[in-house]
């Protein structure tokens, strides 16, 4: 079930009304939200609802065992068992074919005869990477005693399966979300204006910018890059950078807005990443919930920056390589992660040169570094977008070719400009608009929201493209 569809609109309106009717009975309220979440997920494929339920139940039961264990050794044992179980599930569904294929290729490379193996890769469950990470977060937060209240199974089930974030995040921390489940919903504390504005903003990003760029520029160019002219290929590369940002941040805006209307707060997941001036700043702004998850649950346990300079650089590269592999079972994603690891290492070495500190603090250098970083990120996006290494190399070859610029239609250029220039809009403008919106009477706000939805639907391209991060 996709967000910008009539089916989801009807589903959410029904869920919103019933959830608030049951708000005075917290147990029924949460049970209904859990049922609604399973319906939402089952709309894609009911066969995988038991998997979602099983991972959630497994994590909840082991989290209880961790909380009840007095000895550190037992707590570590239950944590290791839980994490291995979650990762084994993820590996089976997402990486079995990839690992088997590469093992056989390595075996052939060594001159060994390989057996004929017939293997059908299992269907990748929608959003499995996200709900597995939620399950691991529950186990880790309980182990580190960041979650103080006793874990209840029905709360653990809802935490993992809560439908606004289920398919593509943001990745919620159990220590941030589960305490919200412990208190009744307060209808007077709903951030209605912010929720509605986030939903509209997300739809604008997804429908008017991301979908437009996908249909008119990115998809046709990357479908046959060998036929594209150099200028068209360059424009499509910029277009994909904007498309994936507006696609994913648009989903996140809608998810956060829906959660706010239901009375729950999600963390911000994007903060204008293309205004970043260095790779570290970029990862503080891009997919914040994932980057902070990798930092806290992978980079720091590896040693972080506590074990010397070389070990720090190695930890950065390992973290980003695994972060790339998390996105997909393909070498293109590994290279994407490796490039970002390389960028982080170069930046750390560059920042360690004290004689450049004064130059780096100038306004001119900030703009130069912003431009350089954006193009470095675009280089990595080429691997992320390409389904194979051969296609990625073809894209790079075409970037150096000549030819006419044929895909720069007015609508495409406006969508591209809106996605980039919009990130430089001062945040105070949005807050001022929200304050102004709150002064209007509720019927007028509802009418304006309905008109905005109608205009977005009318101006957007036909059809509903799935969100890019649904595949992860």
Helices 230-261 and 410-421, packing angle to 10 deg: 60
- HSE-up of 261 (CA within 13 Å, CB side)? 19
> Using CA atoms, how far apart are residues 84 and 413, in angstroms rounded to an integer?
47
| Exposed/middle/buried for residue 101 (C-beta within 10 Å: 0-12, 13-18, 19+) | middle
Within a 10 A sphere around the Cβ of 198, how many other Cβ atoms? 25
| Exposed/middle/buried for residue 382 (C-beta within 10 Å: 0-12, 13-18, 19+) | buried
Comparing CA positions, the residue from 173, 277, 239, 262 lying closest to residue 382 is 239
> Using CA atoms, how far apart are residues 438 and 440, in angstroms rounded to an integer?
6
Give a three-class secondary structure readout of 159-217. Answer: HHHCHHHHCCCCCCCHHHHHHHHCCCCCHHHCCHHHHHHHHHHHHHHHHHHHHHHHHHH
Helices 192-203 and 230-261, packing angle to 10 deg: 160
Comparing CA positions, the residue from 337, 341, 340 lying closest to residue 328 is 337
- Tell me the catalytic residues: 327
> Using CA atoms, how far apart are residues 210 and 201, in angstroms rounded to an integer?
12
> Using CA atoms, how far apart are residues 48 and 85, in angstroms rounded to an integer?
17
Give a three-class secondary structure readout of 296-361. Answer: HHHHCCCCCCCCCHHHHHHHHHHHHHHHHHHHCCCHHHHHHHHHHHHHHHHHHHHHCCHHHHHHHC
> Using CA atoms, how far apart are residues 299 and 316, in angstroms rounded to an integer?
7
Cis geometry, peptide bond prior to residue 58 (ω within 30 degrees of 0):
no
440: Cα separation from own chain's centroid? 34
């Amino acid at each position: 079930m996709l967000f910008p569809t009539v089916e989801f609109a009807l589903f959410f309106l029904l869920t919103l009304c019933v959830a608030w009717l049951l708000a005075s009975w917290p147990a029924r309220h949460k049970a209904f939200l859990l049922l609604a979440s399973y319906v939402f997920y089952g709309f894609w494929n009911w066969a995988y609802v038991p998997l979602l339920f099983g991972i959630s139940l497994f994590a909840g039961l082991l989290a209880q065992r961790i909380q009840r264990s007095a000895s550190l050794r037992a707590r570590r044992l239950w944590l290791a068992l839980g994490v291995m179980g979650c990762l084994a599930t993820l590996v089976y569904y997402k990486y079995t074919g990839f690992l088997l294929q590469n093992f056989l290729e390595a075996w052939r490379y060594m001159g060994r005869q390989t057996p004929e193996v017939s293997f059908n890769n299992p269907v990748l469950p929608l959003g499995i990477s996200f709900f597995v990470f939620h399950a691991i977060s529950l186990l880790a937060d309980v182990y580190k005693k960041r979650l103080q209240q006793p874990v209840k199974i029905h709360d653990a089930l809802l935490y993992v399966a809560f439908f606004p974030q289920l398919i593509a995040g943001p990745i919620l921390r159990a220590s941030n979300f589960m305490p919200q489940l412990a208190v009744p919903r307060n209808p007077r504390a709903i951030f209605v204006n912010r929720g509605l504005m986030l939903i509209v903003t997300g739809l604008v990003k997804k429908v008017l910018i991301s979908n437009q760029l996908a249909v008119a520029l990115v998809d046709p160019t990357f479908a046959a890059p060998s036929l594209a002219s150099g200028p068209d290929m360059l424009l499509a590369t910029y277009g994909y950078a904007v498309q994936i940002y507006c696609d994913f941040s648009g989903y996140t805006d809608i998810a956060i807005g829906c959660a706010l209307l239901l009375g729950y707060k999600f963390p911000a997941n994007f903060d204008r990443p293309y205004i970043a001036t260095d790779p570290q700043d970029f990862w503080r702004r891009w997919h914040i919930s994932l980057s902070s998850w990798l930092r806290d649950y992978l980079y720091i346990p590896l040693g972080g920056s506590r074990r010397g300079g070389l070990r720090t650089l190695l930890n950065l590269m390992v973290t980003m390589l695994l972060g790339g592999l998390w996105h997909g079972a393909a070498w293109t994603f590994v290279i994407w992660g490796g490039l970002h690891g390389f960028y982080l290492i170069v930046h750390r070495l560059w920042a360690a040169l004290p004689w450049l500190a004064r130059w780096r603090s100038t306004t001119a250098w900030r703009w130069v570094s912003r431009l350089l970083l954006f193009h470095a990120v675009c280089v990595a996006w080429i691997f992320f977008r390409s389904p194979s290494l051969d296609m990625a190399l073809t894209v790079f070859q075409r970037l150096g070719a000549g030819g006419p610029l044929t895909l720069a239609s007015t609508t495409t250029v406006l969508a591209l400009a809106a996605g980039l220039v919009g990130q430089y809009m001062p945040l105070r403008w949005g807050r001022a608009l929200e304050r102004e919106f709150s002064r209007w009477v509720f019927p007028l706000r509802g009418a304006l929201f309905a008109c905005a939805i109608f205009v977005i639907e009318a101006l957007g391209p036909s059809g509903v493209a799935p969100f890019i991060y649904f595949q992860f």
